[in-house]
Structure 1
Amino acid sequence: MSDFHHDEEFRLHTPEFNELNKKLDRRQFLTKTSLGLGALAVGSLFGNSLFGNSPKGAATATQGDLEADILRAIPHFAPKAKRVVYLFQSGGPSQFELFDYKPKLTTMFGQNLPDSVRKGQRLTGMSANQSALPMVPSYYKFSQHGQSQTWMSELMPHTAQVVDDLCIIKSMHSEAINHDPAITFFQTGNQLPGRPSIGSWISYGLGSDNQNLPTFIVLVSKNGQKDQPLYARLWGNGFLPSKHQGVQFRAGKDPVLYLNNPDGYDGKDRKEMLDYLSKLNQLQNQAYGDPEVEARISQYEMAYRMQTSVPEVMSTADEPDEVFEMYGPDSRDSGTYAANCLLARKLLEKDVKFVQLYHQGWDQHTSLPSAIATQCKATDQATAALIKDLKRRGLLEDTLVIWGGEFGRTVYSQGKLTANDYGRDHHPRCFTMWMAGAGVKPGLSYGETDDFSYNIVKDPVHVHDFQATLMYLMGIDHERFTYKFQGRRFRLTDVEGKVVKDILS
């Protein structure tokens, strides 16, 4: 039977199609006629400029046309990075114990933070009622590493081995002082929820290089202490079409929820079912003009392709023992940070555009020396291994690797204080993160903080600057890349942000 007669047979014997056809006829006539008459009436007020005879430079496109023009222009210039892996350390890693060496603090143990340093800056509710703000140096030792002679903590011996590949930014700063708004700000460009995440913006602007896997994949390590919650909206699409949201891959037999066939179903007629479902959705799209219908069609099709692609990419059976040894013993335990770093490398090899890995447990208000040692033991070796693995496979040169949290920690101790037991509160005024790989200068320490790592004294980098720089490395001008929603054009960097040209190679 021909496709035409097959479709006609399907329509004749499917009540849903008949019902939609009735709505389609009535709705399209009323809608198109009323809008058409309205458009003619408006056109008579503005002359012919609305209908093609406009002077050069006048706006003549619909919103959809404008969005299409924006997307057609991307990339705005040659990208240096083809893909991104973002190792987000949730909770706020302490820069004092890891990267920002402050030797002068060793003589100031227990002294109150000077007012001239604090400058009346905001404290959290956890520190505001303390009678004093006693300063504490790091419990851990620092030494210089690599040709760059970069100071690194003894907590990160593996990262120290790749320090000449890192561009360490010590002058990051943010306005958000509490976890949820601070993480939301980093991931979406706004402290309030509802905006698209970075990965969703990248997916929307650049599309996919692998049609069998999502453009934006999220991994959450199971061995991070769940001190602060993570919400799916952090990798959500916001007001962008839903096909651009991050897809979370989990450990276990069902890495993507609802992807596998249910028990007792062999899936032989699944493609036929999806074809019929697609026809229903296409007719519904014609009737209602809802762009989410098209997004749903593409998601069903992606899910079908992922049924064969996901099991392959999730399997590490073919990895040699030396790879597991490089990433550490946890890499054999699916869902750990180390295993997710290895999985991230496999996804990047498959040309997944944006991989976001979240590791919780860095919110150390008490018992920081022991808690941060546990965190580093779980993450340091695998982080360095990912850099080494990408480099030896020729992927680091066009892959951007990012490591960092939502803010840093305070120079003063929160709660009890001894030389080997203390905590640190949230500090958004200055903190450290690093980037490596495509387009950034290796072996560079950028920005400086004062002797207390409380204020920035040179080369500040705001969250929006970081986002603008990330976009630039992907070939996108962050000021030109916008999406119209509820009458306003939005962008990841809102109305701020500048590319940090000094860190670019």
Structure 2
Amino acid sequence: MNHSFGIGSRRHWLQTASAGFGYLAFAGISGRNAATASPTDDATTDQSSPNPLAAKSPHFPATAKRVIFLCMQGGPSHVDTFDYKPELQDNAGRPGVYGGRLLASQWKFRQRGESGLWISDLFPNVAKHADDLALIRSMHCDQPVHPRALTQMHTGNAQFVRPSLGAWTLYGLGTENESLPGFISLNPPRGASQNMGSAFLPAVYQGTGIGRTSRRVATNRRQGSSNPADQVPDIKNARLGESAQRRQLAYIQSLNRRKLSGDSRDAAIEGAIESLELAFRMQDAVPELMDIGNESDATRRLYGLDNPTTSSFGMQCLMARKFAEAGVRFVEVTHGNWDHHFRLSTSLPQRCGEVDLPIAGLLADLKQRDLLKDTLVIWGGEFGRTPDAPGGDGRDHNNNGYTLWMAGGGVQGGISCGATDEFGFKAVENPCHIHDWHATILHLMGLDHKRLTYRYAGRDFRLTDVAGNVVTDILRNPA
């Protein structure tokens, strides 16, 4: 089976990981800055460690050690998936908010699990995990357009360049595997560098994007490789053995350090020194981690790897589990094209069909490995869709009210928090802003969003700016 994953070469990793893998780690200047920039007491920094990516203690006991964020880019329709609106069904055809007419959902909602959560038939497999889900049905954000809403979802701000959620998490907690990046974005869309970037945080905390296709990767695909590690053809040095590579690397590093001697220091060279060390370690860690040869047939079926419809996203979900299990702090998986202004009746079932089984497989796999209890899984897009249909068979953007769900990592399962109005247009009960959502994620990771700060340009910045409240209603132990 040929599973498209598109990872690219090691050189490609070094060149295209956000602002460049060569800027991944500032072991000197940036490392010291990362250890001293926070004006808090600070429970999140280990000043005895020279490594800015070293694991750090949280502000308080955490229920989640890691995050897997399933980002559905384009704005999934909440009123067709996770936000049941009987009134919308009863008033179909009447004038809507934008001048179109209210469009009833074409898919039946049913009560699922012991909790009785209403979930659409579009997600039959995820629905089997209803008792693990916390549905936040009152999300809202400030932006009605995709790029800005997606940026606000990732960074908390749509107007200025700010560090991403993953970067803040890595800054606050460090990583648990020094041979892998601490923040990985699988299949990042074009132009996503800001959404996985570190902005003014040291570049060591930016995300590493995996999933851009190179010509050599395409060649490997045609040859039928089913192993993502085989699609990283330059991850191993074919000409030099490990001892020779180590001697070569030591010589290059000596030249780099000589360049840094004296009073003048170059942050780019600092980053290059650490990135070369990480790349050296990665050549053993990455192929071993991404090798699916030892995965059972049952696991392959669980993620839908034997089905052309689900194999691509299923592989990404499997890789997300493997990276998270290996100690990567924050893993994001992107699935695009949820922007259904037209052809809702045919395109939405297709999108849901591509992700439903793999997501259910991910939840089941995490649970059977006893990882779901401290792995926070998040699903959602940058906003939702309108209950009316300006274009006929489609829905418009709706940032006033939509649904996200969270599972594991200390989240109380089988609950629904907040609500939109009777048609699903606006959040009216316990509205949850993006800042509240970010504050809640950090809280589950053991981080106080008000204390996780970074001084830049004379000001203490934080992910939630000057807002945000933890959504305690979804916490398993809110005290």
- TM-score normalised by L of structure 1: 0.78
Matches within 5 A, 1:3-152: 65-67=36-38, 70=42, 71-72=44-45, 74-113=57-96, 118=97, 132-152=99-119
Query: How far 1:428 sits from its partner (Å)?
Result: 0.3
Name the CA distance, whole Å, in 2 between partners of 1:218 and 1:335. 18
CA contact (8 A) 2:310 2:358 kept: no
Out of 194, 197, 211, the residue aligned to residue 236 of structure 1 is: 197
Q: Which residue does the alignment assign to 1:165?
A: 132
**What is the CA–CA distance in structure 2 between the aligned matches of 1:336 and 1:347, rounded to whole Å?**
17
In the alignment, what sits opposite 2:357?
Answer: 381
Task: Tell me by how many angstroms 1:473 deviates.
Answer: 0.9
Does residue 428 of structure 2 align to residue 457 of structure 1?
yes
| Residues 285, 291 of structure 1: 8 Å contact kept | no
Secondary structure of the structure 2 residue equivalent to 1:336: helix
How far apart, in 2, do the equivalents of 1:134 and 1:334 lie? 34
The one-letter code sitting in structure 2 at the alignment partner of 1:153 is S
**Residue 424 of structure 1: SS of its match in structure 2?**
coil
Whether the 8 Å contact between 2:310 and 2:357 is mirrored in structure 1 is no
- Residue of structure 2 aligned with 1:363, choices 322, 339, 346: 339
Provide the C-alpha distance between the structure 2 equivalents of 1:184 and 1:199, rounded to a whole number of angstroms: 13
1:92 Cα deviation after fit: 0.3
Deviation at 1:91, TM superposition (A): 0.4
- Percent identity of equivalent pairs: 41
Which residue pairs with 1:190 in the alignment? 157
In the TM superposition, residue 177 of structure 1 has moved relative to its aligned partner by 0.6
- Number of the residue aligned with 2:146: 179
Alignment pair present for 1:247 and 2:230: no
Distance in 2, matches of 1:277 and 1:205, equals 32
Q: Is the 8 A contact 1:241 1:295 kept in 2?
A: no
CA distance in 1: counterparts of 2:271 and 2:307, whole angstroms: 35
CA spacing shift, 1:192–1:273, aligned 2, 3 Å: farther
SS in 1 for 2:396: strand
**1:369-392: CA deviation from partner (whole Å, max 9, x where unpaired):** 211100011000110111111001
Specify the structure having the higher radius of gyration (Cα): 1
Matched, 1:212 2:212: no
- Greater RCO (Cα-Cα under 8 Å, separation 6 or more): 2
Q: Distance in 2 between matches of 1:112 and 1:451?
A: 14
- With normalisation by structure 2, the TM-score equals 0.82
The amino acid across from 1:185 in the alignment is Q
Matches within 5 A, 1:410-429: 410-415=386-391, 417=392, 422-429=393-400
Q: How much does 1:411 deviate?
A: 0.9
For residues 148-193 of structure 1, give each alpha carbon's deviation from its aligned partner in whole angstroms, at most 9, with x where no partner exists: 0111111110011001000111000001110000011011111135
1:10 aligned partner: none
- Cα distance in structure 1, aligned partners of 2:76 and 2:184: 24
Change (3 A) 1:477 1:339: same
- Shift in Å, 1:454: 1.1
Cα distance, 1:315 vs. partner? 1.1
1:239 CA drift (Å):
1.6
- Matched to 1:94, the amino acid is S
- In structure 2, relative to structure 1, the CA distance for the partners of 1:193 and 1:305 (3 Å cut) is farther
2:444 pairs with 444, 451, 473, which one?
473
- Aligned CA distance change for structure 1 residues 310 and 340 (closer, same or farther; 3 Å): same
Q: Could you say what secondary structure the match of 2:60 adopts?
A: coil
On the 8 A contact 2:305/2:311 being kept in 1, the answer is no
| Residues paired across the two proteins, number | 418
Q: Which moved more, 1:251-260 or 1:287-296?
A: 251-260
Aligned partners of 1:352, 1:333: CA distance in 2, in Å? 28
CA positional deviation for 1:278: 2.3
Q: Which amino acid is 2:438 matched to?
A: Q
Q: Alpha carbon RMSD of aligned pairs, Å?
A: 2.5
